[in-house]
Amino acid sequence: MAKLFRVHGDNIIECERIVDYIIDGIEVVKISREFVSLSCICVNIIFRFDNVEYEWKIEMFPGFNKSNRRRWKGDIFEPLRNNGGFLDETPDALLPCQP
């Protein structure tokens, strides 16, 4: 079963940059992309590390809190504030930890 990651980006380019950064650091066996919805792309990656194959799904969610318009229901920045985040600048992309 694939491990799921979600990238929340300021825009699709920032989401893609995070995915590219991850891909550049692993030994990719197979990669494919699919639309989860009209605005969300999922990248399916099978890669090898230490002679073991792993499978990851990376879902991209572009356009969080863009210009004070809400595309998504939740506030992606709430966990940052609740855990002592103090930067005023909005990050280009977030890769939240999944429990």
More confident residue, 20 or 64: 20
Interval 27-41 mean pLDDT: 93
Token output for 42: 């999922």
In Å, what is the CA distance from 7 to each residue of 4, 53, 85? 10, 22, 19
* Sequence-ordered list of residues with C-beta below 8 angstroms from that of 36, at least 6 positions apart, any chain: 42, 59
The answer on pLDDT for 68 being more than 60 is no
In Å, what is the CA distance from 43 to each residue of 74, 83, 84? 23, 29, 31
pTM of the model: 0.76
